[in-house]
Amino acid sequence: MNAIADIPIIDLDAIRSRADAVPCPIQVSASEREDLIRHIKALLKAQNAVLVAHYYTDADLQILAEETGGFVSDSLDMARFGSEHPATTLVVAGVRFMGETAKILNPEKRILMPTLEAECSLDLSCPADEFISYCDAHPERTVVVYANTSAAVKARADWVVTSSIAVDLAKHLAATGEKILWAPDRYLGDYIQRLTGADMLLWPGSCVVHERFKAKELAMLRQQHKTAMVLVHPESPPEIIAQADLVGSTTQLIKAVQDTDAREFIVATDMGIFHKMKQAAPEKILLEAPNAGIGATCTSCAHCPWMAMNTLQNLLETLEKGINEIHVDPETGRQAAIPVRRMLDFAAKRRHT
Ligand code: 13P
Ligand code: SF4
């Protein structure tokens, strides 16, 4: 990875401890679950609200989103769906940056989240003030930020990207000779840089889930399952990416399970994705890539602790009480909307070429 001499020091250990301190969600009984779902469905309808859920959220929320005319997807398509859907309230089950992106694109809509405490280690590792100073110190660079950032960081960016289009955008910028300042995921940045040859300065953030996949243990698992296809999300470290048969966004990984002939898959991303993968190809065998090991925390079983904070219980409470509304400062939102819309336009053009 390249030198990042003047970059601020980020206390990643403090962020990891914060992630590990999030308690695992409490399970509900089958009858409570049914009750919760019935009430939520009625409130969504009564409030002209639609539920948009990320693939990493609990299967109950994903099923509920689809059963009620909502949507389950990666972060790019969550943003697109929310901005195209006519509902006046969007309920975003995911982490805070996803709710903020929805608000940035739809300032006139009410954006609710089951909890406002669902953070993201990438967002936390990129405080706006330090980031803005760093950008100011490198005025010659095009600022490209991952969607996993705050509204204030997006507002300072030239481009926002998600993992599904980051490589394409870097290629596009490299072809026009632009130098990139990339934040906040160093592993995704490093992957893009190696793949495209783009000139990139990398902010040193990381994802507490993906950084914990274990290379040696993965190699051993591959030995035991020689025909398995290894699917890796690019937030993983280079020694994990090096063992991948396919590196891609959550949607791209699900498509691989559905569309390739392989029967067995080793999956290096949040285990919440297994619900969609099983739905897409029930006959296929899915194995979790080995990660940080035994422990009582979500991240020790490859699950984002903040995604896991979204539950049927807090979703119902949110709708009943009208709480957990996302607000973004209007001027910040207007600035941030420029690179977010640029991302959606770029992605739409890619789809049509
Ligand atoms: P996607 O953009 O692939 O949905 O990933 C978002 C994320 O937070 C991955 O950890
Ligand atoms: Fe952020 Fe990692 Fe959780 Fe995705 S899985 S929301 S990158 S902490």
CB-count exposure of residue 191 (10 Å: 0-12, 13-18, 19+): buried
Task: Give yes or no for a contact between 233 and 269, defined as CB atoms under 8 angstroms apart.
Answer: yes
Q: Pocket of ligand 1, candidates 54, 75, 120: which has the most ligand atoms within 8 Å of its Cβ, to mutate?
A: 75
Residue 26 structure tokens: 């409490």
Cα-trace Rg, the chain: 20
CA dist 343 and 154 (Å) reads 11
Instruction: Summarize the confidence of residues 46-65 as an average pLDDT.
Output: 97
Task: Give yes or no for a contact between 109 and 89, defined as CB atoms under 8 angstroms apart.
Answer: yes
Judge whether 17-121+307-330 and 122-208+333-351 match in fold.
Answer: yes
The architecture (CATH level 2) of 210-288 comes to 3-Layer(aba) Sandwich (3.40)
CA dist 34 and 163 (Å) reads 35
Amino acid at 242: A
pLDDT at 40: 98
Residue 53 has pLDDT above 70, yes or no: yes
Angle at 153 (CA atoms; ends 150, 156), nearest 5 degrees: 150
Distance of CA 194 to CAs 142, 183, 188, 218, 271, Å?
18, 16, 10, 22, 27
pLDDT at 300: 54
Q: How confident is the model at residue 296 (pLDDT cuts 50, 70, 90)?
A: very low
pLDDT at 162: 94
Residue 73 has pLDDT above 60, yes or no: yes
45 CA distance to ligand 2 middle (Å) = 30
pLDDT at 317: 98
Q: How confident is the model at residue 8 (pLDDT cuts 50, 70, 90)?
A: confident
Task: Give yes or no for a contact between 127 and 9, defined as CB atoms under 8 angstroms apart.
Answer: no
Q: How many CA atoms lie within 13 A of 24 on its CB side?
A: 11
CB distance 299 to ligand 1 below 6 Å:
no
Q: Using a 6 Å CB cutoff, which residues line ligand 2?
A: 95, 120-122, 148, 207-209, 235, 270, 304, 306-307
pLDDT at 2: 46
Residue owning the nearest CA to atom 8 of ligand 2? 120
CA dist 86 and 99 (Å) reads 17
Point out the ligand 2 atom lying closest to the alpha carbon of residue 270. Answer: 5
| Fold (topology level) of 17-121+307-330 | Rossmann fold (3.40.50)
Which ligand lies nearest the alpha carbon of 77? 1
Residue 348 has pLDDT above 70, yes or no: yes
Instruction: Summarize the confidence of residues 101-125 as an average pLDDT.
Output: 97
Which 3 state secondary structure label does DSSP give 237?
A: coil
**CATH number assigned to the domain covering 122-208+333-351:** 3.40.50.10800
Q: Give the number of other CB atoms < 10 A from CB of residue 104.
A: 28
Amino acid at 134: Y
What is the residue extent of each domain of the chain?
17-121+307-330, 122-208+333-351, 210-288
CA dist 56 and 118 (Å) reads 12
pLDDT at 352: 67
Instruction: Summarize the confidence of residues 309-335 as an average pLDDT.
Output: 98
Instruction: Summarize the confidence of residues 293-318 as an average pLDDT.
Output: 81
Q: How confident is the model at residue 4 (pLDDT cuts 50, 70, 90)?
A: low
Residue 257 has pLDDT above 60, yes or no: yes
44 CA distance to ligand 1 middle (Å) = 25
Residue 3 has pLDDT above 50, yes or no: no
Point out the ligand 2 atom lying closest to the alpha carbon of residue 185. Answer: 7
Closest CA to 292 of 230, 210, 235: 210
